Chain A
């Protein structure tokens, strides 16, 4: 980290825990919940968001002095939409089955509140390098939650991680299944994503009392 000053390090590290976009700022929940049934989809989604937010933040920050403030939302949407089209086309070309699985949620990165939120809150008022770090940091914070949720849902739901049968084979009854363990198919259904995120928030806030809300 010799390259970065203390302040810059804070930009990257804060969103990973105490200022996490999902659990604290409540941004970008939709995609975090919908695509986390498998770890692989979560990882691909995180990488896409890291790319879009990192590059988008730099672009907006470079243009910040020439965007008229009245139409800035439309300008921001155009920048994001362009970047998302790039991501979507790359996914379609190199990972077609995965892009089918993510279906509309790649497109929904456009309206992911993290992106617009960071543009508004940070990139419009800061230089390109710091905006870049802020973008990467927030996208990483988002990715961390996605990967945690995806990890638990895939592990308990289908007994696999990235498609590898880490708990043994449920049909052959090897590994853990020999002891009578069964997969919890409920973890794969959408409501469990909400509950898993709820539990993550619970754990995080009981470790850091300063984050507890009032009512």
Chain B
């Protein structure tokens, strides 16, 4: 159940593209045709599914505070978490290279469809972002980390597939000249993100966990002032 919840949460609610804007560069650059978008999307799912669990292991047994305790009691005090950026990106870059070699060797047809995208992926923010979010959200088990990786990959895949389909169609529409290409893609993505926001309360109906994004921090303030101003209106009405 926990897995299922995390899976759907990472696809829809915390969608990589629409909720956190990760991987926007390749999302905008490679979404002109559906077929290439599918190739890149599949490669992202694959690489996320491999690197998130790997980085989870790294984080759990090497990086976090006290993680080195398995080496012996004298190592229990080390906190290497400042090294996480460099280790995560190194893992990702090596994994991508390794995957490329393995796929080329064993499945040339898959290599032909994925191959050109794999080097692009090493510097895709969605991949590093997946690992960093996995670390900052404190995901508990290896299984959950794998689920999170696959789920966010599928979320990214859905997003790039949808925008590529829309962009193929929009070629036949009469878009105002200065908005053509990049501008209209931004605005469509914004509208799609508004649509995806409606998944927000879907799973538990009131997931009270605090998100770390600035957006979530700011909105309660707004609601509070709204309530406060309502109260103010009430009190003034009572006075009258």
| Residue A197 CB within 8 A of the other chain | yes
For the complex formed, measure the closest distance between the CB of A110 and the CB atoms of chain B, giving whole angstroms.
Answer: 6
A190, B90: Cβ atoms under 8 Å? no
* In the complex, A175 has a CB within 8 A of chain B: no
Task: Report A-chain residues with C-beta under 8 Å of the C-beta of B93.
Answer: 73-74, 77
The number of chain A residues with a CB under 8 A from chain B is 64
Q: Determine if A170 is an interface residue (Cβ-Cβ < 8 Å).
A: yes
Q: Are A29 and B215 in touch, CB under 8 angstroms? A: no
Partner of B213, one of A103, A198, A199: A103
Spot the interface stretch: B39-47, B57-65, B107-115, B178-186.
B178-186
The reply on A96 being an interface residue by CB < 8 A is no
Distance, CA A123 to CA B131, complexed state (A): 28
- Beta-carbon contact of A188 and B222 below 8 Å: yes
Report the nearest B residue to A207, measured CB to CB. Answer: B178
Contact call B125/A198, Cβ cutoff below 8 A: no
Name the interface residues of B111-125: CB closer than 8 Å to any CB of A.
Answer: 119, 122-125
Q: Is the interface of B mostly helix, strand, loop or mixed?
A: helix
B235 at the interface (CB under 8 A from A): no
Interface size on B, residues (CB 8 A): 61
State whether A30 and B182 are in contact (beta carbons under 8 Å apart), knowing that A111-B89, A183-B222, A194-B187 are contacts in the complex. Answer: no
* Chain B residue at minimum C-beta to C-beta distance from A74: B93
List, in ascending order, chain A residues with CB within 8 A of B127's CB.
111
Q: For A173, what are the chain B residues with a Cβ–Cβ distance below 8 Å?
A: 229, 232
Residues of chain B within 8 A of A195, CB atoms compared: 186-187, 190-191
* Residues of B participating in the A interface, judged by any CB pair closer than 8 Å: 18-25, 28-29, 82-86, 89-90, 93-94, 119, 122-125, 127-129, 132-133, 136, 171, 176-184, 186-187, 189-191, 193-194, 197, 212-215, 217-219, 221-222, 225, 228-229, 232
A interface, CB within 8 angstroms of B: 23, 26-31, 33-35, 37-38, 41, 73-74, 77-78, 81-82, 84-85, 88-89, 100-101, 103-104, 107-108, 110-113, 116, 157-158, 170-171, 173, 183, 185, 188-195, 197-199, 201-206, 209, 211-215
